[in-house]
Structure 1
Amino acid sequence: MNDKTIVTHNGNFHADDVFSIAALKLIFPSIKLIRTRDAELIARADIVVDVGGEYDPDSDRFDHHQRGGAGERENGIPYSSFGLIWQKYGAEICGGDQDLANGVDSGLVSNIDAIDCGHVEGVIKGITLSQTIGMFNPTWQEDTHFDAAFDEAVEFAARVLTRFIAAASGGINAKAVVAKAIENAEDPRVIVLEQYTPWKKTVFNLSEEALYVIYPSQTGEWRIQTVPLELGSFEDRKPLPEAWAGLSGDELQEVSGIDDAMFCHNGLFIAGAVSLASTIKMASIAVEE
Structure 2
Amino acid sequence: MTTRDSYGHFHADEALAVYLLRLLPTYASSPLVRTRDPAQLEECHTVVDVGGVYDAAINRYDHHQRTFSTSFPKHETKLSSAGLVYMHFGRAIIAQHMSLPEDHADVDLLYEKLYTDFIEAIDANDNGISAYDPAALSAANLEKRFKDGGPQDEDSLFGRASTLIGNVFARKLHQACNSWMPARTTVGNAYKSRADAHSSGRILILPQGGVPWKEHLYNFEQEAAAAGAEQVYYVLYPESAAEDSKWRVQCVSESEGSFVSRKPLPEAWRGVRDQDLDGVMATEAEKSGQEKLPAGAIFVHASGFIGGHKTKEGAMAMAIRSLDL
What's the TM-score bracket when you normalise by the shorter of the two chains? Answer: 0.7 to 0.9
Q: Partner letter of residue 194 of structure 1?
A: P
**Relative to structure 2, which stretch is displaced further, 271-280 or 56-65?**
271-280
Q: Would you say the 8 A contact 1:55–1:70 is kept in 2? A: no
> 1 CA distance for matches of 2:160 and 2:275?
55
Per the alignment, residue 247 of structure 1 pairs with: 272
Per the alignment, residue 16 of structure 2 pairs with: 19
> 2 CA distance for matches of 1:76 and 1:125?
18
Q: Partner letter of residue 235 of structure 2?
A: V
Within a 5 Å distance, the mapping from 1:197-236 to structure 2 comes to 197-204=211-218, 205=221, 206=224, 207-218=229-240, 220-236=245-261
Q: Does 1:92 align with 2:92?
A: yes
Within a 5 Å distance, the mapping from 1:1-289 to structure 2 comes to 6-9=1-4, 10=6, 11-27=8-24, 28-69=27-68, 71-73=70-72, 74-95=74-95, 96=102, 97-120=107-130, 123=131, 139-141=148-150, 144-169=152-177, 170-185=179-194, 186-187=197-198, 188-196=201-209, 197-204=211-218, 205=221, 206=224, 207-218=229-240, 220-256=245-281, 258-289=294-325
> 1 CA distance for matches of 2:152 and 2:297?
59
**Relative to structure 2, which stretch is displaced further, 225-234 or 247-256?**
247-256
> 2 CA distance for matches of 1:282 and 1:250?
15
Q: Would you say the 8 A contact 1:192–1:215 is kept in 2? A: yes
TM-score (norm 1): 0.82
Identical-pair percentage: 32
CA 57–178 in structure 1, closer or farther in 2 if over 3 Å, else same? same
Answer with 1 or 2: which has the greater Rg. Answer: 2
> 1 CA distance for matches of 2:307 and 2:202?
16
| SS of aligned partner of 2:23 | helix
> 2 CA distance for matches of 1:125 and 1:16?
22
> 1 CA distance for matches of 2:48 and 2:246?
51
Aligned-residue offset at 1:51: 1.0
> 2 CA distance for matches of 1:139 and 1:124?
21
Q: Partner letter of residue 180 of structure 1?
A: N
Q: Partner letter of residue 113 of structure 1?
A: D
Gaps of 5+ in 1: 1-5, 127-137
CA 26–125 in structure 1, closer or farther in 2 if over 3 Å, else same? farther
CA RMSD of aligned residues (A): 2.7
CA 81–209 in structure 1, closer or farther in 2 if over 3 Å, else same? closer
Say how many residue pairs are matched. 271
TM-score (norm 2): 0.74
Aligned-residue offset at 1:287: 2.1
Aligned-residue offset at 1:118: 2.8
Gaps of 5+ in 2: 96-101, 135-146, 282-292
Q: Would you say the 8 A contact 1:63–1:70 is kept in 2? A: no
| SS of aligned partner of 2:250 | strand
CA 288–81 in structure 1, closer or farther in 2 if over 3 Å, else same? same
Q: Would you say the 8 A contact 1:78–1:119 is kept in 2? A: no
| SS of aligned partner of 2:17 | helix
